A and B are shown apart, each in its own frame.
Chain A
């Protein structure tokens, strides 16, 4: 609310008013027009060079992804290859999560199509699926022979605990992106904790969480962004 008040107190034209004339617009307050270049703020963000590179990258991520590919995707695309910023990743993941269908597949479609159109989506998804399908099928055929060995089952148990940790850590790593949230980091963090409690401790169905917490949060953010834009327009 701070900036709205600052505006009402009113000194629209003053160059030293940070609300009116921000020195470096953050992604949250980026003006809609003239279109800014989204790449400017992350000069070191890279791009997949070819469909083959895309395919290989997604194959290698899928083959490293035990107990789900999410943790690996975040590490490879954001930290290693720098194909996405942390903020990009959270935002695209939100879309991938809310759309029906397998989440990581959706992310491959979103990311692949952004760079290479429908071919990119196809190569990304093929990368995620081809090698792992062959592997999982071989494993299923082998499984009958080793299913009775207690050590095999115990090893799977240990791996499942680690892979649970991987997923949780992926969420924690994305926490800093709340720092630039339009609603302010305090409210954003509170909503985050509320969702965690609902999902993990109270076991509220996901659809209810998305509607009950996600819906109002989007609405609040929408209003907040509107207020920010209105302010900028007046300032101009």
Chain B
């Protein structure tokens, strides 16, 4: 572990990390994952609080584990803190990072939710909600597509596309428990079929 990374974060650095994530919170209009490039620039390139490998591993692990995608931020905070001050540092880093990424946006969402519930019969509110419906549906279907296509459009990835397509149809048309499907996917992967 290089000296630059192992440097102890001063009290100001903790505050800096908190405000970094608080700023990202309000920018994360497409979910937490959309803030990844900015986090990388700040945590890895600028401050050298994390290594490249720690950064990408944090994202991969959070994606593989159950739970909201935003948990990769918890791992980033943990790793920053752990590099600086071991276990206690890790715990503090995790709490600060999550408080930052969720705080401002949650307050805003809470206020908006209260307002829109009180005014749900207003034409503006109904027009917004119903107007966004086609876009929201497309965003979900499109996100699935984007996730698979991250592996590429080559012929070698055909089994992967096939697996994604089959699970799409199965989830759409049946009520089979999602964990069975994920287990099947893991098994097919481990056997080298996809």
Which residues of A are at the interface with B, using a C-beta cutoff of 8 A?
28, 30, 32-33, 35, 38, 62-72, 75, 79, 90-106, 109-110, 113-114, 118, 121, 125, 128-129, 131-133, 135-137, 139-140, 143, 147, 151-152, 154-175, 177-178, 181-182, 188-189, 191-196, 199-200, 203, 206-207, 209-210, 213-214, 217-222, 225-226, 229
Contact = CB atoms under 8 A, between A and B. Distances in A.
Contact of A32 (B62, B114, B121, B142): B121
B166 to A, nearest CB: 7
Nearest to B129: A91
Interface string B156-194: 000011011111111110010011011011111110111
A166 B178 CA distance: 8
A192 B120 contact: no
Contacts of B106: 101, 105-106, 109, 121, 125
B38 to A, nearest CB: 13
Contacts of A62: 66-68
A139 B138 contact: no
B132 interface: yes
Interface of B: 25-32, 34, 57-58, 60-71, 74-75, 78, 94, 98, 101-102, 104-106, 108-110, 112-114, 116-117, 120-124, 126-149, 151, 160-161, 163-172, 175, 178-179, 181-182, 184-190, 192-194
B7 to A, nearest CB: 22
Contact of A217 (B78, B132, B149, B181): B132
A65 B68 contact: yes
B110 to A, nearest CB: 5
Contact of A101 (B25, B120, B163): B25
Interface residues of A, dominant DSSP: helix
Given A69-B68, A100-B29, A105-B68, A162 B184 contact: yes
Contacts of A169: 144, 167-172
A191 B65 CA distance: 34
Contacts of B105: 99-102, 105-106
Given A165-B181, A214-B131, 14 more contacts: A28-B130, A33-B121, A65-B68, A67-B63, A101-B101, A109-B106, A114-B113, A121-B113, A128-B67, A133-B67, A158-B193, A159-B185, A165-B163, A168-B164
B32 A90 contact: no
A155 B191 CA distance: 8
B190 A158 contact: yes
A158 B133 contact: no
Nearest to A207: B29
Interface residues of B, dominant DSSP: helix
Instruction: Kindly list the 5 A-B residue pairs having the minimum CB-CB distance in the complex, ordered from nearest.
Output: A101-B105, A158-B189, A132-B67, A168-B144, A171-B140
Nearest to A72: B178
B127 A164 contact: no
B34 A161 contact: no
A219 B127 CA distance: 7
Contact of B137 (A137, A160, A192, A207): A192
B138 A161 contact: no
B29 A158 contact: no
Given A97-B136, A195-B139, A155 B189 contact: yes
Contact of B194 (A33, A63, A140, A161): A161
Given A100-B26, A140-B75, A154-B189, A105 B102 contact: yes
A186 to B, nearest CB: 11
Find the residue from B65, B165, B170 having the highest chain A CB count within 10 A. B65
Contact of A102 (B32, B57, B60, B187): B32
Nearest to B186: A155
Given A79-B175, A136-B61, A172 B132 contact: no
Given A94-B128, A169-B172, A30 B109 contact: no
Contacts of B139: 97, 171, 195, 199, 206, 209
